[in-house]
Structure 1
Amino acid sequence: SAGSDTDQVIIPNIPMIAAMAKLKNSSSLIKIALLSILQVFNQKPFVKLSVKKILWGYHNPLIKLGNDILPRDERFPFDKFGILIGKNGSTSGKFKIHSGVDNLSNLGEIMSFRGKDKLDVWSGDQCNAIRGTDGTIFPPGFAKNKTLYVFSPDLCQSLPLVFEKEIITNDIPGYRYIPPSNVFSGPAKNPRNKCFCDEKNKCMAQDGLMNISPCQYNSPIIISWPHFYQANPNLLNEVEGLNPESRKTSVLHRHSTETRKWLARR
């Protein structure tokens, strides 16, 4: 970006929205109390902040209040709120991976994450399965039509990548992998995604969007590929300036067909 991290941007007040979403099914008395708290803390639906604060954190009194009264396993693990807080070089958890010593085809495969061989976030074993690698290394010599999996702790799921086409970058031949078009589709188009939905975590009505609230401290977080790539075209009508091109917005892997080394990842 050509902008500065001091640029001021207006964004939704995510801590406020998260608090309201968490208590949406509470009694009227609790809701009235929450409204009083929001007024005392001068909370508004939108806030104007610098890009630096949005990304790396700013103090919001709702974070401290939540961490004071919520059960330990539901608390936000920082005293500030930021989109990328805790991501600047810090680990998201300990991985145990295959070394490939006994079987090179298992090189980089994740055996466990944070001491567990599967997640306990979603309503089904398939969605909770930890598959593939962390995206930094893959086993050599696989067939290009093999589906690859990259586990993302931030999304609490393993994302598939499929071969798109052969490419040449700086005279080096390789493969380009992209996510299948139904990765973020509802169960009607992708039955495998059914276990990402339940009574509390509703499936999205539009293809190309996924509700990952259970993965993000039950905050109302919905994800898509950049620029609504592979999403319902109707979504593009709601936002100006989007350009959902595969080359620019997809998850991208380039693999040298000669050296079997992974050259790039986006």
Structure 2
Amino acid sequence: GSLRFSFFSHKNMTDDGMFTINTGIKDPSRTQMIELWNGRTTLDVWNNRSSGLSSSCNKIHGTDGSGYPPFRTGVERMTIFSTDICRTVDIKLTGSSSYEGIPALRYEIDNNFLHEIGPEYGN
């Protein structure tokens, strides 16, 4: 048999929109950070808080998950923006390992990621 692998096999030629990504030239710690998505810094997908303020889920920030700023050594938390779920997600460091001698860090979404969604929780 043959082995088939695809990182984006779940995609069906759907356009994820236009990303404006920071190059890190002025500040290397901002390398690969999303500045705009489709010309915007926020979404209007998630309900607003009961106070009338925009839900924190509508904020576009972090990276797209395919790359991160250089020189990160065990950063406790990182942030990614996913167009698939239309929101920003925090991921936390859960361990380290290596693959063929290359050190790697493992990050995962918190177990309570979807537990408290709604205007009263600000997400």
- TM (norm. structure 1) is 0.38
Partner of 2:51: none
Mapped pair 1:158 → 2:88: yes
Q: Which amino acid aligns with 2:33?
A: E
* Cα offset, 1:90, TM superposition: 3.6
Identify, as 1 or 2, the structure richer in helix. Answer: 1
Partner of 1:127: 57
Identify, as 1 or 2, the structure richer in strand. Answer: 2
For 2:42 and 2:81, the matched residues in 1 are separated by 11
More RCO (CA 8 Å, sep 6+):
2
Mapped pair 1:172 → 2:96: no
* Cα offset, 1:146, TM superposition: 3.1
Query: Structure 2 stretches of 5 or more lacking a match?
Result: 1-9, 49-53
Output one character per residue of 1:31-54: Cα deviation in whole Å (capped at 9) or x when no partner: xxxxxxxxxxxxxxxxxxxxxxxx
* Pair member with larger Rg: 1
Query: Structure 1 stretches of 5 or more lacking a match?
Result: 1-83, 197-266
Report the identity percentage.
Answer: 29
* Cα offset, 1:192, TM superposition: 9.2
Q: 2:40 is matched with which residue: 96, 99, 116? A: 116
* Cα offset, 1:130, TM superposition: 0.7
Relative distance call for 1:193 and 1:170 in structure 2 (3 A) is: farther
CA contact (8 A) 1:166 1:175 kept: yes
For 1:145 and 1:115, the matched residues in 2 are separated by 29
Partner of 1:99: 23
The aligned length equals 108
Partner of 2:79: 149
Relative distance call for 1:175 and 1:154 in structure 2 (3 A) is: same
Partner of 1:259: none
For 1:166 and 1:141, the matched residues in 2 are separated by 16
Relative distance call for 1:97 and 1:193 in structure 2 (3 A) is: farther
Q: Which amino acid aligns with 1:103?
A: D
Secondary structure of the residue that 2:121 maps to in structure 1? helix
For 2:79 and 2:15, the matched residues in 1 are separated by 20
Secondary structure of the residue that 1:127 maps to in structure 2? helix
- TM (norm. structure 2) is 0.77
For 1:127 and 1:139, the matched residues in 2 are separated by 22
For 1:106 and 1:116, the matched residues in 2 are separated by 18
Mapped pair 1:194 → 2:105: no
Please provide the CA RMSD for this pair. 2.2
